[in-house]
């Protein structure tokens, strides 16, 4: 998969290959997030065949490969506000209100709400469970997301947990419900903002493990911890990588 951008907002020119792990490093306001959102929209529109207006200076090339709907993850606050976001979507559709959530947010609400299809014996799930000492899960009866710490009977609302737990919680939920699968493109926008440096290393390790299963991942980052860890673990897992500098 390849994305070409020319003279779009602050991006003068970009030619980015997505094959395994793609990392865009750079300071804020250099266009990293813009690339992620363009990639999300272009894949989504191609799959929906919406007939959306073509932007002449953006071109997405998808070769003969399995492609599923992309997932865009940026803020752990999403999980804390999940119930509010889902109700907002429902009210907007029911009463045909003239406001809506961004596609990347609305799509993630739907992905999080999917029932579990895998067991908790999944290797990636167990590694995260050990790291955060528990499980972040979607409760379909209460239509909300909770964290249950190992050894405790009661569950916690997500606003009572650290941002790091929420960031790993995204992965736990999406792994168990089968959303993260071969052909999926995962887009992380500066995940390090919400993680302690030691957990940045663990997150990078998990990202590289996910890539080994045929999942494309884009990480936008300005953290040397995250970038160096991604480089280290990608070599260890022997996965295809593309590193770019946004300036």
Q: Tell me: the pLDDT tens digits for 211-224?
A: 999 999 999 999 99
Q: Is residue 191 part of a domain?
A: no
Q: Taking 90 as the threshold, does the pLDDT of residue 53 lie above it?
A: no
Are 210 and 157 members of one domain? Answer: no
Query: Rounded mean pLDDT of the chain?
Result: 90
Are 153 and 83 members of one domain? Answer: yes
Are 18 and 39 members of one domain? Answer: yes
- Range of 49-58, 77-86, 114-123 with top mean pLDDT: 77-86
Are 150 and 172 members of one domain? Answer: yes
Band the pLDDT of 65: cuts 50, 70, 90: confident
Provide the 10 A C-beta neighbour count for residue 241.
18
For the stretch 228-245, pLDDT in tens is 999 999 999 999 999 999
Instruction: Using alpha carbons only, give the angle 170, 68, 200 rounded to the nearest 5 degrees.
Output: 30
What is the predicted pLDDT for the residue at 54? 63
Q: Taking 90 as the threshold, does the pLDDT of residue 80 lie above it?
A: no
Q: Which residues fall within 8 angstroms of residue 147, CB to CB, at 6 or more apart?
A: 134, 135, 136, 137, 155, 156, 157, 158, 160, 161, 165, 169
Of the candidates 163, 161, 169, 221, the one whose C-alpha atom is nearest the C-alpha of residue 192 is: 221
Are 213 and 163 members of one domain? Answer: no
Q: Is residue 186 part of a domain?
A: no
Q: Is residue 190 part of a domain?
A: no
Mean pLDDT of 20-36: 92
Share of the chain above pLDDT 70, in %: 97
Q: Taking 80 as the threshold, does the pLDDT of residue 87 lie above it?
A: yes
Are 42 and 86 members of one domain? Answer: no
Whole-number Å distance between alpha carbons of 47 and 103 = 14
Are 65 and 129 members of one domain? Answer: no
Q: Taking 70 as the threshold, does the pLDDT of residue 51 lie above it?
A: no
Are 10 and 66 members of one domain? Answer: yes
Residue 182: both structure tokens together: 């071969």
Q: Is residue 110 part of a domain?
A: yes
Are 46 and 110 members of one domain? Answer: no
What is the predicted pLDDT for the residue at 52? 55
Residue 41: both structure tokens together: 């929209």
Q: Is residue 37 part of a domain?
A: yes
Q: Taking 90 as the threshold, does the pLDDT of residue 194 lie above it?
A: no
Whole domain around residue 60: which residue ranges?
A: 1-71+201-247
What is the predicted pLDDT for the residue at 55? 64
Q: Taking 90 as the threshold, does the pLDDT of residue 189 lie above it?
A: yes
Residue 247: both structure tokens together: 């300036």
Model pTM?
0.91
Are 134 and 65 members of one domain? Answer: no
H or E element, residue 58 = strand 58-61
Please name the residue that has the structure tokens 């737990």.
Answer: 165
Are 162 and 118 members of one domain? Answer: yes
Whole-number Å distance between alpha carbons of 134 and 141 = 20
């Amino acid at each position: 998969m390849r994305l070409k951008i020319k003279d779009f907002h602050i991006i003068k020119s970009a030619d980015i290959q997505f094959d395994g792990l793609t990392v865009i490093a750079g300071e804020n306001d250099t266009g990293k997030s813009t690339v992620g959102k363009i990639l999300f929209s272009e894949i989504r529109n191609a799959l929906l065949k919406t007939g959306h207006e073509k932007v002449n200076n953006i071109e997405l090339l998808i070769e003969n490969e399995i492609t599923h709907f992309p997932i865009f993850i940026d803020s752990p606050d999403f999980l804390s506000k999940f119930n509010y976001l889902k109700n907002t979507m429902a009210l907007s559709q029911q009463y045909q209100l003239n406001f809506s959530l961004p596609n990347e947010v609305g799509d993630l609400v739907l992905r999080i709400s999917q029932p579990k299809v895998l067991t908790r014996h999944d290797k990636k799930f167990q590694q995260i469970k050990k790291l955060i000492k528990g499980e972040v899960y979607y409760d379909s009866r209460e239509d909300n997301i909770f964290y249950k710490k190992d050894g405790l009977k009661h569950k916690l609302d997500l606003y009572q947990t650290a941002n790091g737990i929420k960031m790993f919680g995204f992965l736990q939920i999406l792994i168990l419900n089968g959303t993260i699968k071969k052909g999926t493109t995962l887009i992380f926008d500066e995940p390090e903002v919400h993680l302690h440096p030691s957990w940045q290393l663990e997150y990078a390790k998990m990202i590289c493990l996910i890539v080994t299963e045929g999942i494309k991942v884009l990480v936008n980052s300005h953290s040397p911890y995250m970038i160096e860890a991604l480089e280290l673990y990608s070599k260890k897992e022997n996965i295809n990588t593309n590193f770019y500098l946004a300036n």
